[in-house]
Structure 1
Amino acid sequence: MNKTFNIYCDESTHLMHDGHPFMLYGYVSIASNQIKIAKEQIKAIKQKFGYEEELKWINVHEKTLPIYKELVEYFFMTDLKFRAVIVDKSQIDEERKDYTFDDFYYRMYFQLLHHEIDLEHNYNVYFDIKDTCSQERLRKLRDYLKWNASIVNFQFVRSHESIFVQLADVLMGAINYNLRIQKGEIEGKVIAKRKIVDIVQQHTNISLDSTTPKNKKKFNLFFISLK
């Protein structure tokens, strides 16, 4: 049976000189007929804790841990899915033709979406709008993904308008935080963030610093090696 899914994409530490070692692109996907109830349930979680801020990884700390813990637990209880592609920025060689840092914006999104889209279904893909160059990037993304007739809509949204983009931000933040700890870049002293990483680890029962098997559809990571 043909179904329609919405895919909400976001980026984390993706800028060239932001001081972070990894670039992450990820999404949260949901069947279109489940969107309304999921929005209501996440809204109820926020109301339960009196939380009015945007859901973001940078907002995870001791006082907000209860709501973020429940949010992540909620994700694993539902049919929502998460996928991210990750690359070590030190592997990007800007001297190599067609492998400039800007090119990676499009290559990462191609890798993010290409392998997980089922051609029997239809998809609406939403991207978190970042800057004034967004419309040009959207045009190029359409060109990169024009082979895929299952993608029926490309559109930008603002993160504060989409709880699913916000959820993608939180899950990517957990992955990125764990990678930075493993790399020795940080000591992981923010206990609340380490607890969120632990919750993700417990639910997935996979390594969070390597590519997951293809059959892991609920929570899928793909580490791109450029060497």
Structure 2
Amino acid sequence: MDKKGTTPVYKIFCDESCHLEHDGADIMVLGGIRCTTEKATALNKHIKWLRHQHNYHTELKWTKLVAKQIDFYKALIDLLFDDEDIWFKATVVQHKERLEHNAYNEGSHNLFYYKMFYYTLRDFLQPGNEYKIYLDYMDTMGGEKAKKLCDVLKTESREGLKVDIYIIQSYESQMIQLCDLIIGAVSYKNRSDIGHTSKIKCQVIDYLEQKVGHALNYGTPPWERNFNIFRFAPSVEGR
């Protein structure tokens, strides 16, 4: 409990990139941003203010960056790093084409997906707190996937975990859009199957790496909280 004697409530905003089994990408990235409910409200207001300041009124998506808005993207990245109460974590699955689902995941890419989301979220979760996890709407199977992930988190985590998962549209959430920006940068940097020819994307990555202090295609120590990257290679699958 916090100083007021109430159960802390945290929100986790999640996004994913190249997560489908046969999408041609050689990696998969899952990630999330965690903060308190109060912090999420403040960040939402701040992002809306930044949008007004930079005249940016469309949905923020990594796939649709605008070159002249580099200062807006930098301001969003500053939000993430200038506040110690905000945690970001991404899981980068390398060499996705080498995954042996028949040997380790009952032949199911979806099962592997849930495993990786569990590893992505588990460090955010502590018994005694309450968590509300928000996933971007992807398809009509979203409700079923959310229930499955919720069950996995409750089963694999320690006793007493309070967690609910919600499916929302990305345009409804400033925080999911922020997560999309960061996940997109991590994914773009780690992909070896594409040419890195987008000037604006490389500018965003360069600025993000300056803030992090290292390249986005390197893992971080497990205790790193503000910006954590967990790299998973198929060779260690099943351990």
Please, what TM-score do these two structures have when normalized by structure 1?
Answer: 0.91
Residue of structure 1 equivalent to 2:87? 81
Aligned partner of 1:150 among 140, 157, 161: 161
Mapped to 2, the partners of 1:186 and 1:142 lie a distance apart of: 34
Helix, strand or coil at the partner of 2:154: coil
Secondary structure of the corresponding residue to residue 51 of structure 1: coil
Aligned to 2:65: 60
CA contact (8 A) 1:93 1:100 kept: no
- Normalised to the residue count of structure 2, the TM-score between the two structures is 0.87
| SS of equivalent residue, structure 1 residue 64 | helix
CA distance in structure 2 between the partners assigned to 1:77 and 1:59 by the alignment: 25
- Distance of 2:126 and 2:221 partners within structure 1: 17
Partner residue in 1 for 2:20: 15
Give the count of matched residue pairs: 224
Contact 1:87 1:223 in 2 (8 A): yes
- Between stretches 159-168 and 115-124, larger displacement belongs to 115-124
Judge which range, 47-56 or 117-126, deviates more: 117-126
Shift in alpha-carbon separation, 1:156–1:70, aligned structure 2, 3 A? same
Q: 3-state DSSP class of the match of 2:13?
A: strand
Correspondence for 2:171: 160
Q: Secondary structure at the match of 2:120?
A: helix
Of residues 117, 125, 129, the one that matches 2:137 is 129
CA deviation after TM superposition for structure 1 residue 99, in Å: 4.9
Alignment partner of 1:3 is 2:8: yes
Which residue identity is paired with 1:4?
V
The unaligned stretches of length 5 or more in structure 2 are none
Q: Percent identity?
A: 29
Q: Distance in 2 between matches of 1:99 and 1:215?
A: 32
Separation in 1, partners of 2:41, 2:114 = 30
CA distance in 2, matches of 1:118, 1:199: 32
* 1:132 to partner: Cα distance: 0.7
Letter in 2 for 1:6: K
Query: Of residues 25, 33, 44 in structure 2, which corresponds to 1:39?
Result: 44
- Does structure 2 conserve the Cα–Cα contact (< 8 Å) formed by 1:5 and 1:122? yes
- Alpha-carbon shift at residue 118 of structure 1 (Å): 2.4
The one-letter code sitting in structure 2 at the alignment partner of 1:222 is F
Q: Give CA deviations for 1:98-121 in whole Å, capped at 9, x if unaligned.
A: 252121221111111123322242
Counterpart CA distance in 2 for 1:110 and 1:186 is 28
- Please provide the CA RMSD for this pair: 1.7
Alpha-carbon distance in structure 2 between the residues aligned to 1:142 and 1:117: 12
Instruction: Report the CA distance between 1:155 and its aligned residue.
Output: 1.3
1:92 matched to which residue of 2? 99
> Which amino acid letter does the alignment assign opposite residue 92 of structure 2?
I
Structure 1 stretches of 5 or more lacking a match?
none
SS of the residue aligned with 1:27? strand
Which ranges of 4 or more aligned residues in structure 1 deviate by more than 3 Å?
A: none
